């Protein structure tokens, strides 16, 4: 029996495009309940300037309240070295830096070239080593499967970026289908290529379900050995610089897929569905996706831990 790690990115990716500003106390409750449901890692906030993303103006308050929750790994998104400095000062144990394999997307998103972002990550690693050596630094490669602005992204470029980020000191590599272009064959091919470049460095896959292939792509990644994935409650999420991209893969459905195919997640899926129902009341008018919440778990389903017992 193998384990699969599912990280909830709903508090960050899931909230970055919603219309309502979610109260801080609701974000804290979300984190507590998703951890209580067995989710091992939660991306709790984004350390971007409040004027750019007002949803995350309460980042310090959210971090202060959620770092004390036991039993999970808190992480946060950082856009640049200044965001990293905030993360180090706040004591967040893991920071996620993201750049785009698509030059045009990188310019639209953070107004710099991809290579400039790679160089910036190198400076962040140096800063980490000097001031917060215990902090885990993950490096994400967005638009790895294609881009709504640029179109095709050369696969060789994705491999080059992964190798360079590892060489600079990334503790984990995240490969992202930011705009939901990926298909299962492409997922197998690109992830196999990335794994050849990064060796035994941990790899996490970030998927969007824009064209209904999100879970099929997760299944394909499982086949080639990927064991860590991003997902969000209710499939919330999207990118402001990825026109037409819908939400992340649904956390409840992703947990069901993993458990139903023999991978242990440690997650109480029914508790996730209950949390989703609460979040829906906080975000009226927002689109929530997912089949488990709609249809329920089959009577034949037994979580891995229950099977083992």
Neighbour count for residue 14 (Cβ, 10 Å): 27
Which token pair is 24? 């801080």
Beta bridge partners of 75: 43, 94
Mutual angle of helices 24-36 and 269-282, in 10-degree steps:
170
- Looking up residue 162, the CATH number of its domain turns out to be 3.20.20.70
Residue 215 pLDDT exceeds 60: yes
Which token pair is 291? 């089949």
At 238, the pLDDT band (50, 70, 90 cuts) reads: confident
Residue 305 pLDDT exceeds 80: no
pTM of the model: 0.96
Q: What one-character-per-residue DSSP string does 20-48 give? A: SPPPHHHHHHHHHHHHHTT-SEEEEEE-S
Instruction: Provide the residue count of the chain.
Output: 309
For residues 133-162, average pLDDT: 97
Q: Cα 36–250–28 angle (5° rounding)?
A: 35
Using a pLDDT cut of 70, give the percent of the chain over it. 96
C-alpha closest to that of 255 among 208, 307, 290, 294: 290
Which token pair is 298? 């089959």
How many alpha carbons lie under 13 Å from residue 240 in its C-beta half-sphere? 12
Select the more confidently predicted residue: 153 or 108.
Answer: 153
Q: Kindly provide the b/e burial profile for residues 161-179, where b requires at least 16 CB atoms within 10 angstroms of the residue's own CB.
A: bbbbbbebebbbbbbbbbb
147 is catalytic: no
* The pLDDT value given to residue 245: 56
Given a contact cutoff of 8 angstroms between Cβ atoms, the answer to whether 149 and 178 are in contact is: no
Residue 244 pLDDT exceeds 80: no
- Catalytic annotation, pick one of 31, 147, 166, 239: 239
Structure-derived torsion over alpha carbons of residues 175, 178, 184, 186, reported in degrees to the nearest 10: -70
Select the more confidently predicted residue: 159 or 52.
Answer: 159
* The pLDDT value given to residue 62: 99
Please give the residue range of the domain that contains residue 290. 2-308
Residue 90 per-residue DSSP state: H
Residue 50 pLDDT exceeds 70: yes
At 17, the pLDDT band (50, 70, 90 cuts) reads: confident
* The pLDDT value given to residue 303: 87
Residue with tokens 């017992």: 309
The string of pLDDT tens digits covering residues 154-206 is 999 999 999 999 999 999 999 999 999 999 999 999 999 999 999 999 999 99
Of the candidate ranges 99-103, 183-187, 246-250, the one whose mean pLDDT is the lowest:
246-250
Residue with tokens 């906080």: 282
pLDDT mean across residues, the chain? 95
The string of pLDDT tens digits covering residues 258-298 is 999 999 999 999 999 999 999 999 999 999 999 999 999 99
Select the more confidently predicted residue: 195 or 247.
Answer: 195
Count: domains in the chain: 1
* The pLDDT value given to residue 116: 96
At 240, the pLDDT band (50, 70, 90 cuts) reads: low
For residues 66-92, average pLDDT: 98
The phi and psi torsions of 228 (rounded to 5 degrees) equal: -145, 135
* The pLDDT value given to residue 309: 42
């Amino acid at each position: 029996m193998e384990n699969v790690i599912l990280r909830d990115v709903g508090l960050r990716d899931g909230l970055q495009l919603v219309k309502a500003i979610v109260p801080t106390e609701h974000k804290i409750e979300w984190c507590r309940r998703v951890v209580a449901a067995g989710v091992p890692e939660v991306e709790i906030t984004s350390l971007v300037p409040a004027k750019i993303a007002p949803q995350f103006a309460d980042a310090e308050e959210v971090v202060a309240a959620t770092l004390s929750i036991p039993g999970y790994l808190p992480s946060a998104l950082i856009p640049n070295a200044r965001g990293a400095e905030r993360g180090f000062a706040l004591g967040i144990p893991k920071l996620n830096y993201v750049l785009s394999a698509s030059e045009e997307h990188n310019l639209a998103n953070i107004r710099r070239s991809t290579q400039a972002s790679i160089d910036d990550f190198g400076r962040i690693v140096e800063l980490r080593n000097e001031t917060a050596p215990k902090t885990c630094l993950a490096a994400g490669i967005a638009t790895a499967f294609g881009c709504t602005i640029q179109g095709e992204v050369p696969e060789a470029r994705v491999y080059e970026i992964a190798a360079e980020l590892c060489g600079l000191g990334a503790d984990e590599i995240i490969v992202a289908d930011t705009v939901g272009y990926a298909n299962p064959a492409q997922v197998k091919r690109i992830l196999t290529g990335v794994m050849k470049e990064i060796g035994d460095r941990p790899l996490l896959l970030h998927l969007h379900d824009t064209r209904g292939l999100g879970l099929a792509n997760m299944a394909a990644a499982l086949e080639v050995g990927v064991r860590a994935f991003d997902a969000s409650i209710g499939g919330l999420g999207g990118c402001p610089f990825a026109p037409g991209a819908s939400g992340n893969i649904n956390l409840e459905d992703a947990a069901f897929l993993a458990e139903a195919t023999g991978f242990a997640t440690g997650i109480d899926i029914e508790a996730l569905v209950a949390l989703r129902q609460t979040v829906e009341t906080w975000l009226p008018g927002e689109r929530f996706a997912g089949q488990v919440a709609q249809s329920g778990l089959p009577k034949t389903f037994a979580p891995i831990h229950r099977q083992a017992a």
